[in-house]
Structure 1
């Protein structure tokens, strides 16, 4: 297998190029790449171009090109045609005409960063150019370098080393009249949203930067709060750069800082924790404060707790006493039934506790009357 490398100025969707001197391939076998390094923005398209040469065989025989393709990897020592790789499916196109071949890649991903090489095969030999073209795919970023007095300095950045690119700036989606420079000093309001793009890649803008939106607050659990219970307050806001959060309790004449985290946790609520609370979200571009909300901690009185316990005890006693009396009555009834069965085995007598009580009362009255009769007789004598 033969190899050679060559470089010329690049054309197409190239952001940054590095050119080198042309190096002819051996024995008139050669591949000339238009550039050795290309840097492109994520989501954009790029073209990698080359030309190739090969000698005619001696004796007037025809040397015919049978196959051409681009590759980045090899399998079992053989280059893998890029059009057969699943990660590139539907995104690559190869165009060859008059010994000039172009690889076109669209919807670039950061994983597309690699070294691309061209290979061609004739009916006599095969050849690829080495080293190939190094493609770097970068994500455009908008950085806030400093902010003061309602102004901020923004920098549109990529990992590409280009210094001659022109930039387009946007505010709330509208293109600003001036751009060119990668940095810009802007005035920031609470509703301003800025982004940037490379000239020629307007459809691939950087992520937007903006001040925090109105923070939202959540309370968990949201049920009635009692003394001793735990409580979590959460504050969130849409912001880029990401916001820093601060929790406050609103006192009568001032607001005290409680915590400087998105969440504030009460492990054991006290009645003194009742009051108004709010949070703030702040980044380099601005600050927003949430609406105030009131937390009411229910006070658990020891006296009320003791009364509650006493009522429960009384209720339990009132339930147990009737059950105990019923149990004793059933036990007595069973004992009387057993005695009757022993004396009169052929007759069963059912005792009614109320009738037994009446019979005992009658016997007592008769006994009293018999006791009084002798006394009356003595009086008569």
Structure 2
């Protein structure tokens, strides 16, 4: 009988690149601000793969290792994440996973449509807040039980002194609420400004009347001149127009000017 001799075993170590990485997560439903969240990355590879974590649209890696841990996830952590598995043979990238962090509204910001709040104007207050899911808004006025408005904007038409007071904007969603306030002081309409506008209108009307009378005087002067001195008359009228000062403020000054002009005509062209 022949003797059988067995050789020593030989190990064959087959090298291969990482398989397509698989990402798993610790949450089973909604992610709320403050929760602990863990992402895990795995890929079959020989030699064993090393792992790097990234957030979409960010060039720099977040961390290295098979796990990415958020001990207290924040609203700023919302986004898509993926991992890369790599060994000496190849680098493979996983698909992305979305972390959608829900949170209560942040402190609302209130803006006002007018820089000066005076009686009679239309005023709009606007409220906005960062939140997930999107916030709903309600407006209240101090010491009044009924809401002033539901929605981002509160519009008050023909505002009066009775609308002065403290207004609150409350932003709320399924995760909570936050409130901001603004105090409105409605000022009486500026009577001096109204009076000035009336004066400007009167001055404009007086200026228009002055120009009309000057035009009539100019036509009358041209008509009075003989035909053979048309050129001299034209030059004389231009001189009159150059001498006119735009600061005539009333009709008596205009009458004095016309009388003076007629006297000069008589002296220049005696009949």
Return the TM-score normalized by structure 2. 0.45
Return the TM-score normalized by structure 1. 0.34
Q: Which has the higher strand share?
A: 1
Q: Which has the higher helix share?
A: 2
Which has the bigger relative contact order, CA under 8 A and spacing at least 6?
2
